[in-house]
Amino acid sequence: MVSIPANEIAHDFSPFFRVYKDGRVERFHNYVYVSPSDNPNTGVKSKDINNNSARLYLPKITENNQKFPLLIYIHGGFSIESAFSTGHDKYLHSIVSKANVVAISVDYRLAPEHTLPTCYDDSWAVIKWTALHVKVCDHLNILPEEFIKEPWIKDHVDFSRVFLAGDSAGAIIVHDMLVRASASEKPLGDGFRIVGMALIHPFFGDDERDEYCLFIFPECKGLDDPRLNPAAHLRLLSNFVCLKIMVFAAEKDFLRDRSLTYYDALKKSGWKGEVEIMETQGEDHVFHLLEPTCEKAGLLMKKLVDFFNEKI
């Protein structure tokens, strides 16, 4: 039997990960885990839910039975990062505090150990689990026996105002979640109403060959697959159930043109909702997570907060 040297590289996808011939995966961005917490300054509380598949954030309660819009957020990375990382936890905490929303930050299994569409399916499972709470509120006895209701969701979410949002690769997943939710059979039910979607620096594909995407998504049909390159599938865009979409781009982001292409595709698709784009000059991909206290990150945050708070 021939031994394989432990340091012999099979696939190198820097700056994300490297796969060695013995099967070992080396990541270049190992996130720092942070525990859920109660913040006495903002009143925001958080806890991990649904078998640790997501982190739930509750804003400060000032009235009995107070209801808030719901934000479902999906982090970027595909093969790096987590809903439980220091950066994403702080960012979600800030959104919840400023926008006064309940937020669910999804934690999906990472590639390449779990190839795509695992992250899509993990995210959809969290959304379907969340939507089951509508049936709890409606007192319908058609829930699976293993379902355990989460009181923060049941007691404090206004299911008529649900938003989806994500950054980078998470924005691709969020787009696909809206495609699934917009299917004709209404898989999430009538009471779970998605009114808006925000895509921050989306990691959409295009017509160029992308070895990274093809490696972590071996079952895709190519880079025109609607889960990677939605701008090539106008019919799916035209069926969106939400009323408004916000797209964020950054001038120095190598993915900038893909955000603009998606925005143009929405305008051409026949979708009846409103789409807006905000481009940040002089900044690069997900700068708002890398420098959350800078002035331009503050402007991006304000736009997000206004988007979630706008009356529909």
Query: Quick count: other Cβ atoms within 10 Å of Cβ 193?
Result: 19
Tokens of 51: 């078998």
Is 175 designated active site? no
Query: Could you say which of 53, 168, 182, 269 is catalytic?
Result: 168
Is 253 designated active site? yes
* φ/ψ of residue 162, rounded to 5: -110, 135
Query: Could you say which of 88, 201, 285, 288 is catalytic?
Result: 285
Give CA–CA dist 279/263, Å, rounded: 12
Picking from 259, 260, 253, the residue whose alpha carbon sits closest to that of residue 296 is 253
Query: Could you say which of 89, 167, 176, 253 is catalytic?
Result: 253
Give CA–CA dist 105/116, Å, rounded: 19
Strand pairing partners for 11? 19
Picking from 73, 65, 137, 129, the residue whose alpha carbon sits closest to that of residue 99 is 73
Q: Catalytic residue numbers? A: 168, 253, 285
